[in-house]
Structure 1
Amino acid sequence: MKKGIVIHNKSDRPDNIVLQENQTIERCIEIENSLPDFFKEYFLFLKNSIGINTRLAYLIDIHFFCRYLIENTDLTAASDASDITAEEFERLKSRDVNFFLGDYCSRYYKETQHTTQIFENHNRALARKRSSLSSLFKFLYRNEQKSENIAPGFNPIKLPKPQPDAIKKLEIDEVARMLDLAETGNGFTENQKKYWEKTKLRDKAILLMFVTYGLRLNELQQLNISSFNFSRGEFRIYRKRAKESLMPLNKTVEDAVSDYIKNERPPQDKLPDSESDALFLSLQSKRMTAKAIRELVKKYTSIVLGTSAKSGYSPHKLRATAASTLIEYGFSIYDVQNLLDHDNVTTTQIYAAHKKNVKREIIKNFEWSEDIKE
């Protein structure tokens, strides 16, 4: 029986974030224990050089590659990933990885008792797997565990360049309708209104925070009551790679969050210790999961867009909405980059290039025929 985890937190980060990180680390260790022993120094390299979520993603990809070697090739005699030998890895060539990425990963099958499951990876997923394996093979070469660096021989994977007019986001009038829906419930079915009546203040606060700050899903999901300092007009969030950031509160968001805390959220002393500080709670008085928040956003945006709940927009689309709207209102691209925590300003520039009806305006004012011009 697995023991419960007790947190002795001596950092200034909230317990819920420490616990979430610990769960990710435990998952990393679990995968590491299932991989060959000669990878141990590579695991140490990952631990100290990249964020824990990226570390987990790399380990999942590498374990998947090892299972491929066992189940789909004659490149190893092992029956378990942990039994693959350093000598077998030494014999691997670039073409072996290229077959994995280009032939197997693009479409593969898994047999269950009753069905055959088909899995497909688009180029972005393939590029991540390529990056994971490049990291591994480069390290093994640098660490003198492999005599040749085969990573430069991996076939390139072309990623489509993001097109500004393909960005999915809400227009300003659609944001207004979404917030009105959260406030009035007009547009919900009678059955949906039963739930909306219980969560309308929470829902409005969540949607406002997404479209005002362009928060990432995890950044919002991790928020606590103690994250907010209303007297100073600010709140604290924890970004990727353990970065902390103080965000200013505007009156609209401050009023919405305060209204939710005072008039809808259960009082802290009525909640178990594990949930007493969590900001956004489910109807079961537990911290909302990332999945629940994603479904909430999809529900509201699907009604505004007039589509099915499945086709509604994700929280990341509201992040794009915030970026595009801020730039449309005339804010500096560098200020928006800082607010949204983009690593590179070129990411922000994509939103700056996206202006409503720009193609229509160009063509409307560009006529070849003199008769039409007149």
Structure 2
Amino acid sequence: MAGEKSVKLHNKSDKPDNIILKEHEIVSKCEEIQEQLPDFLKGFFRYLKGDVLSKTRFAYLGDIHFFCRYLIEETDLTEATDPADIKKAEFNKIKASDINEFLDHCREYWVKQNGQDVLYQNGSRTLARKKSSLSVMFKQLYREGIMEKNITDGFDPIRVPKASEREIKALQDDEVMIMLDAVESGDHLTPKERQYWNKTKKRDKAILLLFITYGLRLFELQQLNVSSFNFSRGEFKIYRKRDKETVMPLNRSVTETLMDYIDNERRPDDELEELHKDALFLSLQGKRMTERQIRELVKKYTSIGLATSRKAGYSPHKLRATAATSLIGRGNSIYDVQALMDHEQVTTTQLYAAHKMNVKRELVKDMEWELERKEGTERNKTE
């Protein structure tokens, strides 16, 4: 890619190169944002670097940069024209009410993109994250003596539905079978989709099976390598959040599907660039698939299982939910499922145990008011 910095890696850790490079990429993006922010935030940057996961750090910095742009463009709290030029004294003028106005602004706002006005709308979960980003920053600045007051106590609460209040979205077993039939046969695909499917059906099937068997997170699957798998031992290695390394057992379905893909469809290593030779899942261009490409693939096939539009298809995270609900539905221990899914708290796993869509279906199955009405009408006509 034009302008992309070439990185020479000297890796003496146990992690594969692509995991190290991905982490470096996120850290580099964090540093780019930091350079655009005021110097008096340097202590806060050090705090984030030491105590916060790199992806969370990137999200926090993005929120703070957006807040600084807001101060410049929407308020009279600063005379700066660039976020880096905002002064410490100007930050000290900020009150809790100003933060609450900012959060209200974030519910709906316009952005000029490529000559077009784009309307952004954010729900309570996004607003809560932006509030969290600012709370962490202002608390740290107060601890360092940069802010004279701790204004975070005055931030308005944002009501986010508890996990137990949200309906868990997951495929039912029959929908999983329809999805797998589609990737096997090409049924329900458009003519254009079938052209790509002919070249990628073994890869696509392997991706879907890994998601619904192990409940992998998107980044965990995207970073898988051929060398991650030891087929003779029947296991593979993944790298999870907080640098956790986990070995997973392979079952027969996944083993046969992966070997079929690697042996009969995946492009040979001698046709690949060095950077992508070990990548398990390749695009048609012979490069490691991006998270976006995998997400679109999943939406396409899940939409077939759900009999809905491509846009309404499920995300990879909902296939993670599918794996959890299916495992629990098969009578597996909730603690075993917790370990497989890498949930930090068993309460998270319990949410999937409480998801009883099949029970709901059984409850309403015999409540066919309209069918009973029609049947009664027909009986009266024949009597």
Structure 2 residues not aligned, in runs of 5+:
368-383
| 1:310 counterpart residue number | 311
Tell me the number of residue pairs that the alignment of Structure 1 and Structure 2 aligns.
Answer: 365
- The alpha carbon displacement at 1:86 in A equals 1.1
43-52 vs 303-312, greater mean Cα deviation:
303-312
> How far apart, CA to CA, are the structure 1 residues paired with 2:77 and 2:285?
51
**Partner SS state of residue 260, structure 2:** helix
> How far apart, CA to CA, are the structure 1 residues paired with 2:99 and 2:340?
39
**Partner SS state of residue 274, structure 1:** helix
Amino acid at match of 1:227: S
Structure 1 residues not aligned, in runs of 5+:
367-374
Cα shift readout 1:261-302 (whole Å, capped 9, x = no counterpart): 111112223322111100011111111111111111111111
74-83 vs 268-277, greater mean Cα deviation:
268-277
**Structure 1 residues 96 and 202: alpha-carbon distance in aligned structure 2, compared to 1, 3 A threshold:** same
Amino acid at match of 1:286: K
Pick the aligned partner of 2:66 from 64, 67, 88: 64
Amino acid at match of 1:289: T
Report if aligned partners of 2:178, 2:304 keep a CA contact under 8 Å in 1.
Answer: no
| 1:140 counterpart residue number | 141
- The alpha carbon displacement at 1:143 in A equals 1.2
Report if aligned partners of 2:206, 2:257 keep a CA contact under 8 Å in 1.
Answer: yes
Report if aligned partners of 1:164, 1:354 keep a CA contact under 8 Å in 2.
Answer: no
| 2:51 counterpart residue number | 49
Name the TM-score, length of structure 1 as normaliser: 0.93
> How far apart, CA to CA, are the structure 2 residues paired with 1:212 and 1:167?
18
Q: How does 1:25-40 map to 2 (within 5 A)?
A: 25-40=27-42
> How far apart, CA to CA, are the structure 2 residues paired with 1:137 and 1:42?
9
Amino acid at match of 1:23: E
**Structure 1 residues 92 and 324: alpha-carbon distance in aligned structure 2, compared to 1, 3 A threshold:** same
| 2:110 counterpart residue number | 109
Report if aligned partners of 1:228, 1:234 keep a CA contact under 8 Å in 2.
Answer: yes
Cα shift readout 1:82-108 (whole Å, capped 9, x = no counterpart): 111111111211111111112x11111
| 2:378 counterpart residue number | none
**Structure 1 residues 296 and 113: alpha-carbon distance in aligned structure 2, compared to 1, 3 A threshold:** closer
Q: How does 1:1-374 map to 2 (within 5 A)?
A: 3-102=5-104, 104-111=105-112, 114-162=115-163, 166-359=167-360
108-117 vs 80-89, greater mean Cα deviation:
108-117
91-100 vs 177-186, greater mean Cα deviation:
177-186
- The alpha carbon displacement at 1:38 in A equals 0.6
**Partner SS state of residue 331, structure 2:** coil
**Structure 1 residues 138 and 165: alpha-carbon distance in aligned structure 2, compared to 1, 3 A threshold:** closer
> How far apart, CA to CA, are the structure 2 residues paired with 1:142 and 1:23?
30
Amino acid at match of 1:243: K
Report if aligned partners of 1:164, 1:351 keep a CA contact under 8 Å in 2.
Answer: no
> How far apart, CA to CA, are the structure 1 residues paired with 2:82 and 2:190?
52
> How far apart, CA to CA, are the structure 2 residues paired with 1:70 and 1:33?
17
- The alpha carbon displacement at 1:70 in A equals 0.9
Name the TM-score, length of structure 2 as normaliser: 0.91
| 1:369 counterpart residue number | none
- The alpha carbon displacement at 1:10 in A equals 1.4
- The alpha carbon displacement at 1:117 in A equals 2.2
**Structure 1 residues 354 and 82: alpha-carbon distance in aligned structure 2, compared to 1, 3 A threshold:** same
**Structure 1 residues 29 and 7: alpha-carbon distance in aligned structure 2, compared to 1, 3 A threshold:** same
